[in-house]
Amino acid sequence: MKILALETSCDETSAAVLQGNMTQPVSVLSNIISSQVAIHAKWGGVVPNLAAREHLKNCIPVINSALEHGKTTLDSIDLFAVTQGPGLIPALLIGTNVAKTLSYFHKKPLIGIHHIEGHIYANLLKTNNDPKKLFPLISLIVSGGHTQLIRMKGHFQYEIIGQTYDDAVGEAFDKVSKMLDLGYPGGPIVSKQAQDFEKSISTIKNKKLKNELLSISFPRPMISSHDFNFSFSGLKTAVLYFMKDMKKRKIGIETMELYKGAICYAFQESATEVLVSKTMDAVKRFTPLTLLVAGGVAANKKLIEKLKESTSELNSVHFVSPKLEYCGDNAAMIGVAAFYRYNALKKANRLKELDNNWKILEADANMKLQKI
Ligand code: AMP
Ligand code: MG
């Protein structure tokens, strides 16, 4: 079956064409992403109405480009899929209304997908999809809006075993970047600064300065809380106070740049250590066959390295992370989730629901993960 998927929940307009059957991993025929990062960067974050305006402008050209690259026409699409939520409501409304129109006009079913479900299922674009080898699994969700540990005994059988009490980890990366005047979006910038600092340590000649930079350390919030919950707002505040103290000292620009790198490094060490420690506690407690990581922060090399290293010590769990191109927001992840949801609904004799979706589907900014 051929699927056309749309994603417009935040600041990327994306359309993808996928081909799926149950004997092979779903293949992506095209995955076009039009990013609005440059537009929102000057505001230091995503402006919802600006995002909606850009989605409206770009949605049809992005769909046309996905069809062209996927060597497909709208007539040969069997299923339309769209991010229903969570996300920014003005942005979600554009994608859902375009998808509803396509479903009505082409008389093909429409499926609404939870954005985080898309991030989870992005991992299935490269793994063997035999559920006997995949489940039970634990998924570490790390994005700009979510930090969760989810346990799944089968497709769409979600059980949230832990989550953040306050900021999501991606949000903490973004805020640290803002505090250090490094720009937006913060995650990739902070991780690059941390990486460059790590590489440059051996070249710093001034021993006192080198020791000072290496001694910077931030708290590991809730690392010993004996549950699977997280908190990142205290870590962010610790960085803020450290920066305030730094500004009181009269430091030259070059040294300040070194300090910023060291702060990014220390922050990333704290955040990733907490994520990995809690995840490995969950792996030990629930003994899953697979550990997945999902969401924009899955692009963080340090996090992936640490998870790989920790899981390699346990032979019983298979670690999977998404390809870099599927870590950020994209429509291919929505399409692959739609493929599995469609097949699960088929098994449950509930496919009829999808034919009427063009009438009833509504964008839902606070959508919850839905079991089948
Ligand atoms: P999402 O909410 O899943 O779309 O992911 C976006 C979030 O991922 C933002 O908070 C980004 O700052 C963050 N992010 C992207 N790349 C990285 C990275 N390499 N390291 C840490 N965070 C990242
Ligand atoms: Mg996302």
| CATH match for 2-125+326-360 among 3.30.420.40, 3.30.43.10, 3.90.1150.10, 1.20.1630.10 | 3.30.420.40
**Residues at CB less than 6 angstroms from ligand 1:** 119, 143-145, 170-171, 173-174, 185-188, 191, 295-297, 299-300, 328-329
Q: Which residues contact 368 (CB under 8 A, 6 or more apart)?
A: 114
DSSP state of 291: E
Which atom in ligand 1 lies closest to the alpha carbon of residue 115?
Answer: 3
Q: For position 225, what pLDDT does the model report?
A: 96
2-125+326-360 and 135-321 in the same fold: yes
Whether domain 135-321 has CATH 3.30.420.40: the reply is yes
pLDDT in tens, 59-117: 999 999 999 999 999 999 999 999 999 999 999 999 999 999 999 999 999 999 999 99
pLDDT in tens, 211-245: 999 999 999 999 999 999 999 999 999 999 999 88
23 or 203: which leads in pLDDT: 203
Q: Closest Cα to residue 242, out of 206, 266, 274?
A: 266
Residue nearest to atom 8 of ligand 1 (CA): 296
Look at the block and give the residue holding tokens 């990142």. Answer: 232
* Res 24 pLDDT > 80: no
Q: For 198-256, give the DSSP string.
A: HHHGGG---HHHHHHHHT-----TTTTSSSS-B--HHHHHHHHHHHHHHHHS---HHHH
Which atom in ligand 1 lies closest to the alpha carbon of residue 12?
Answer: 4
β-bridge pairing 290-294 and 137-142: parallel
* Ligand 1 centroid – CA 267 distance (Å): 15
From CA 296, how far away is CA 190, in angstroms rounded? 14
Q: pTM for the complete prediction?
A: 0.94
Task: Say whether 337 sits in a helix, a strand or coil.
Answer: helix
**Are 36 and 85 a contacting pair, CB within 8 Å?**
no
* Ligand 2 centroid – CA 141 distance (Å): 10
Domain ranges of the chain: 2-125+326-360, 135-321
